Structures are given as C-alpha cells and as structure tokens.
Amino acid sequence: MEFLRGPMVLGIDVGTSSVKAVLLDARDRSLLHTHTIDTRAAVPSECGAQGREQDVGKIIKALNECVMALPRECLQQVARIGVCGQMHGVVLWKAKKGCHWINTGDLRVFEPWEVSRLVTWEDGRCSKEFLAALPPTSSHLSLASGFGCVTLLWYLKNRVGIFREYDAAGTIQDYVVAMLCDLKIPVMSDQNAASWGYYNTRCKSWDVGTLQGQGFPIDLLPDVEEGGNMAGDTSYDWCGIPQGARVGVALGDFQCLVFSAVRQTSDAVLNISTSAQLTFCMPEEWEPRHILDPADPVTYFPYMGHRYLAVAASLNGGNVLASFVEMLVQWTAELGVEISDSTIYSKVINAALSEEETQLTICPTLFGERHNPTGVASASNITPGGFSLGHVTRALCHGIIENLHTMMPSHKLEKAGATRIVGSGSALARNEVLRQEVERAFTLPVVYEKDVNSAVGVGIIMCLSRR
C-alpha cells in the first residue's frame, strides 16, 4: 500500500462556468477548506450562435487564483491532487512545449502556451446531417455534437489546418493534469474517453481503424487509464504545493459528483446545475452489450470500480432558468429600467412560490436533447389569468423536472432498487421552487446531503486510491 506523505488532498473541478478547489484531510476525508471562482471564459465562436467556446487562458487564470486562495500552510502539506471537469469538450495544445511557468509574488503558477480554444460540451456546430454521415462507432454510446472526437472530425472537414498547429488533445481537465505533470503524451481516464465518442469501454480501446479511415490524426488521441489511477507527479512547485505531489488521471465531473453524493448503493442522484442529470449505479456484473438507440434518453457512463451509471442526462437545467432571467433583464432594459440578474432571479422565484399550482405548461427543451436534438421549447394552456410572472416561473421549473422525469421515471428508479434520491447542484440549491417540483414529481424520498460536489468527490477518490 502506498502511504500519503502529507495529510492534505486537493480536489479540483474545472466546470463549465467556474473552478472549485477543496482541501480534504486525507486521514478522515473531511472537508477543511473550499473556494470557487467564476471563469467568465466564454468567447464568441467561429460557428456563431451554435458554437460554444472558452478561452483556456481565462480558465487557467481562475484555476491558479482559486488554488492560491486556500490556506498556504495547508497547500504546503498537499500530497495528492485530484482533477475533474466538464466532460465531452476538447482542447488542443503543443505537449512538447508544455506551458509557461511564472512567478506571482512568491508562488509559482503556469500559463497556457500555444493552446487552442476549448470547444465545450454545449457546442452545437455538428448538425444532424453531419452526425448521420459519420462512420459508425463500436462504443455503446451514441455520438453527439460537443463530443471531443466529433468536434475533431468537424475540424478535419472544416479547419484541417488546425492539426498542424498542435500535437495533443484532451478535455480541459486532461490539459491541467498534463501541464502539472509535464506530460509529453497526455493521459485520459476511461470516463473522459467514453464521453468523447469512438472509445469502446468493453475493449478499452479507441476505434483506431474507423478513425484512420477518415484521415483522423490518431497521434492526437491520449493514452487511456482507468479512473483512480495516477498520471504522474507535479514537476514544479505550484501555488505553494511542493513539487512531487501525486496527480490522478483526470476524471469526469459527473462521476465525481455522484461519488460524493452516494451514501448507500441504493441511492439515486439528481443534479441540477447548468444542465441536469438523474442517475443510479448499475449492478457490478452489468456491462453494455450493444450500441444504444440514439433516441433512448438513458445512457451508461463508466464509473468507478468497473461499474456503470445509468444516466438521464438533460441539456436543459439551470441554463434554461438563466436564459429566462437574461430575457427579462433585456426586456426591462428596453423599457428603460436597469435591474440586475440576481435581483430578477430572486423576484421570479418569490413570485413562483406564491403560485403553488398553474395550468400553464412549458416544455423547457430550449437547448434540445441529445436523444432529440431538434426539440424546441414551447408553452401551452395559456389563459388570461394564468400568465403572470409567478405562473410562468412555476411552469418553467415544473417543466425542467417533468422533462427529467420523462427521461427516467420513478418506476424505473424503483425497479433498479433505488430507495431515495440525493439532490445536488447549484440550481437546485438556490431554487426552492425546483426542490418543490422534484418532491412532487418523484415517489421516492428526496434528501439533500452536505458537501456534495465534484471537487469533493475527486478529492475523496484520491484519498482512497492505492495506485
């Protein structure tokens, strides 16, 4: 058994809109410190409204600042670092050149050097026709826009020159691990590889032959390791963490969130943040045997210990509410009144709390769904007295939960042996109306555990890892 050389473990979640860092006591896995910083990294995409891209420099700046905000005396005792982050997306870089290490005050941090933009999981540049023309995959997971290999195939058709600029690719969390450990050949967990498409989790291999037949640059694909393995050691002191700290292979943020939430094997987990997911763990002996129907709303993600999660992964969660608030901010500005989005959010939730029932029906699939990419949002049953701000907000929250319940209904959870639902996520935490709708829609009891998030989950996994 490998013993920790220090009592602290750092867990990092490089999320879609923020970076979170936590410090855990390695001896009892208790949470000691936490800090979160918004990345504000979104940039206009070459693909217009369909594209979703982020500035990697802004993400890494937020990461450095987030870690440096933790107590210095604790960072000096960090023995292991766990990193997770937003799945599916892709960033390219020059692994042979690494990154640029600089001093900020008396601490060392790194800056990106010759790195592409991050194309995130939300990216919609790949049309239904483009996806239909792609070669079949041996993976059990259907292909979708925003998946790493799919985006790279889009580049191959539309921006082939980009492959002459870089020699490595991965998720944003893979990039962080590669820079910390100075990896010339990046590594990726099976969790992130599966989220990219064209990775067979049963054979534990990329669909190399299929991709080569398309002219795909195979050398860009990372080596794949099992989740929980180590990627290497920190090659420099970083933010006060001593050189030589062990760094785990980057994991998927969703799997890490589930790991932090589950207290018993019969727990289902509901997470509503930017997007929304509902999941339960499949039996130990279960594995996917065939490619799933793309129209099936439930997919199966590799988890820890050779197990899989059955997941209803909706693209519509807190982002729908954020779009609603953004619309109201724009409307009030056009009427000559300036109101902050936080003020409007608070007022619409309070208005909805005064309306316990509504006949208004809102289908909230503003961003489509992977199993139904052409879906759109709509409203119906509009009546003169039922279209107030409270009615609309209540119907919108109900629609978000009903959409998830349609994807994975209560009877499916009960048949799988689930005995309760653990609720988590920033949108669920701050929105009482959403919590009310969850508790109405599902027949299982709903609980809200403390310290449930991806950064804590990846930190606990590093505490438990013996590899």
Residues 58 and 117 sit within 8 Å (Cβ to Cβ):
no
DSSP annotation string for 293-347: PTT-SEEEEE-STT-EEEEEEES-SHHHHHHHHHHHHHHHHHTT----HHHHHHH
Residues 190 and 250 sit within 8 Å (Cβ to Cβ):
no
**Which pLDDT score is estimated for 371?**
86
3-class SS at 440?
Answer: helix
Q: How far apart are CA 376 and CA 230, in angstroms?
A: 42
What type of residue is 253?
Answer: D
Residue 4 has pLDDT above 70, yes or no: no
Q: What is the pLDDT of residues 163-208, one digit of tens each?
A: 999 999 999 999 999 999 999 999 999 999 999 999 999 999 999 9
Q: What is the pLDDT of residues 154-169, one digit of tens each?
A: 999 999 999 999 999 9
What DSSP element (H or E) covers 154?
A: helix 148-158
Q: How far apart are CA 151 and CA 124, in angstroms?
A: 10
pLDDT band at 1 (very low <50, low <70, confident <90, very high): very low
**C-alpha distance from residue 186 to each of 79, 118, 303 (Å):** 21, 16, 21
Q: What is the pLDDT of residues 245-286, one digit of tens each?
A: 999 999 999 999 999 999 999 999 999 988 999 999 999 989
| C-alpha neighbours within 13 Å on the C-beta side of residue 133 | 9
Q: What is the pLDDT of residues 121-155, one digit of tens each?
A: 999 999 999 999 999 999 999 899 999 999 999 99
∠ CA(178), CA(173), CA(265), 5° rounding?
125
Q: What is the pTM of this model?
A: 0.89
Residues 73 and 102 sit within 8 Å (Cβ to Cβ):
no
**Which pLDDT score is estimated for 187?**
97
Stretch(es) of the chain classified as CATH 3.30.420.40 = 8-255+454-464, 264-448
Secondary structure letter of residue 369 according to DSSP: B
What residues have CB less than 8 Å from 431, skipping those under 6 apart? 321, 349, 397
Residue 2 has pLDDT above 50, yes or no: no
Percent pLDDT > 90 in the chain is: 90
- CB count in 10 Å sphere of residue 76: 13
Torsion of CA 393, 395, 396, 399, to 10 degrees: 160
Candidate CATH numbers 1.25.40.10, 3.40.50.920, 3.50.50.60, 3.30.420.40; the one for domain 8-255+454-464: 3.30.420.40
∠ CA(192), CA(162), CA(137), 5° rounding?
40
**C-alpha distance from residue 326 to each of 175, 253, 321, 344, 345 (Å):** 32, 26, 9, 9, 9
Q: How far apart are CA 345 and CA 183, in angstroms?
A: 44
**C-alpha distance from residue 412 to each of 114, 277, 280, 404 (Å):** 47, 15, 10, 12
Strand order in the sheet with 446-447: 298-302, 308-314, 276-281, 267-272, 420-424, 446-447
Candidate CATH numbers 3.30.420.40, 3.40.50.620, 3.40.47.10, 1.10.260.40; the one for domain 264-448: 3.30.420.40
Residue 6 has pLDDT above 70, yes or no: no
Of the ranges 7-11, 308-312, 322-326, 450-454, which one carries the lowest mean pLDDT score?
450-454
**Which pLDDT score is estimated for 370?**
83
